A and B are shown apart, each in its own frame.
Chain A
Amino acid sequence: MTGLRRRKILTVGASVAAIAVMTGLVSYSPTLYRLFCSVTGYGGTVQQAKSVKFGISRRTVVVRFDTNVAPGLDWEFRPLQAQVTTHLGEPTEVYFYSKNLADHPIVARAIYNVTPFKVGPYFTKTQCFCFTNEVLKPGESARMPVVFYVDPQLAKDANTSDVETITLSYTFFKSADQGPAQDMGARVSAEATQDKALVGEAAKARAQAAAHGDATYATPPMISETAASRGSGTP
């Protein structure tokens, strides 16, 4: 009798526990599914943990710089570094130099290209001098910052994972409207301050990680200038 009663209690207990577990699973299924997706990346869910850990990826790419001046614009325009080696996801600041060679103020506008073209979706500039009218007074020069990063997704896309070198190319055109425009020197200084924090934090992260022996961030110098560079040396 005692044994039968115990078995009954066990059966009821097991049934209640099974129902509780199933009810729990049903109740929390959306949460559990999201958890599953976040762990596996299934269904295109961004892998949160991985993003944080590899916000700045171990993988590097070389970004080269190319500059052009359209006919009719009497400006000197060149990159201040021929290329940089940057980690995917790392905000990187580079500089370009322009100088008005004419004896009168000139307003100009720049456009840009990123090649290979397939890399475009993964190349993001957070600061640049393109598309807006810029003016340089006679003989005036400006050092213009560009801040960019390359999305780590580049390495995961089968179409772009093989890319090791990217070229960022700028072309300056003389504007038809030679009226008042923003002074380039003043504007680029103000914008540079906004992005300094972003680049500074990234550099600090790398330096600290390197000091602690984290190979993930132990990298070659951020800006590598070559002797053949048009932009090597000071302006």
Chain B
Amino acid sequence: MKASAAAVVCLLLAPPAAHAHALVDVQSDLSQREPAVAFEPGIGSPFPAFSLQDPDGQTIDLASLRGKVVVLDVVSTRTAAGSAQSDLMARIQDDVAAGHMADQVELISVALDAEHDTVAMRKSYGPAHGLKPENWVLLGGARDDDPQHLAVQLAAKPVPPGLAPPVTYIVDSAGMLRARFFGLGFDPLNLVVYVNALTNDHHETAAPSVSTPSLWQAVKGLL
């Protein structure tokens, strides 16, 4: 009996040490390991709402991505920098797939150059960079200025000293911006580890829904 109580006490006392390698630990570790990452304070700020279209004309907005962690970048597809960005996104996609997270993570690139980024071009762009359609999409706008509008909103966020675009944004399953990875020199695995920690973080985004008995059920139970 004493041992039972001791086990329960151990379990109750465990929480401070529980959740080994929780998100906060990963964040702390990456802050030292990855100079290109900037974490948003607290649980982050809401990611700017957007409504864009995939090459098939389907509308994808922020609300439709709820429940998934989103990795998003804004690319200029006809530049060498944009091409390098997409190659990096392809590496991230490969690691996400290897880590069995494809169902939980959505990769999104926003094509900035409406004149150049026609539907046909956007359809062929992914395969050219090894990006697979399972959980990646290149979005454009129903109106020419839609992608630019999002880009302007994102650009309004201050860039930390010493860091420079391009930026890869990490948005959690509740639509909050959690981290920004700057430039092209960061280790994609660092991003994937952070994304994995986010997919496994259920403490701020998804509280367990245990049903509470009604007052009548509670009183009835007492009797």
Contacts and interface: CB of A to CB of B under 8 A. Distances in A.
Contact of A128 (B6, B8, B20, B219): B20
Interface residues of B, number: 51
Contact of A153 (B5, B14, B189, B208): B208
A70 B93 CA distance: 13
Interface in B94-120: 95, 98-101, 103-104
B14 A126 contact: yes
A40 B99 contact: no
B19 A157 contact: no
A59 interface: no
A63 interface: no
A173 B98 contact: yes
B154 interface: no
A89 B14 CA distance: 12
A44 B104 CA distance: 30
Contact of A173 (B4, B18, B189, B202): B189
A101 to B, nearest CB: 18
Interface residues of A, number: 56
B187 to A, nearest CB: 4
Contacts of A51: 8
A114 B14 CA distance: 20
Given A39-B222, A112-B196, A113-B101, A124 B18 contact: yes
A84 interface: no
B11 A205 contact: no
B149 interface: no
Contact of B18 (A55, A113, A126): A126
B49 interface: no
Contacts, number: 146
Contacts of A75: none
Contacts of B14: 91, 126, 198
A55 to B, nearest CB: 3
B211 A158 contact: yes
A55 B11 contact: yes
Nearest to A66: B100
B25 interface: yes
Interface stretch (A5-13, A20-28, A115-123): A115-123
Contacts of A169: 100
Contacts of B222: 39-40
B139 interface: no
Interface string B1-42: 101111110111010011111000110010001000000000
Contacts of A122: 208
A175 B34 CA distance: 13
B98 A177 contact: no
B152 interface: no
Contacts of B3: 201, 204-205, 208
Contacts of B188: 176
Nearest to B25: A131
A104 interface: no
Interface string B176-214: 000000000001110011001101101100111111110
Given A130-B21, A197-B10, A208-B1, A113 B98 contact: no
B189 A56 contact: no
Interface in B126-171: none
A209 interface: yes
Interface of B: 1, 3-8, 10-12, 14, 17-21, 25-26, 29, 33, 95, 98-101, 103-104, 187-189, 192-193, 196-197, 199-200, 202-203, 206-213, 215, 218-219, 221-222
25 contacts: A42-B212, A42-B215, A44-B210, A44-B212, A55-B8, A55-B11, A68-B100, A109-B189, A111-B99, A112-B196, A114-B200, A121-B207, A124-B19, A126-B17, A131-B29, A171-B99, A175-B187, A194-B17, A198-B14, A201-B3, A201-B10, A202-B7, A204-B6, A208-B3, A208-B4
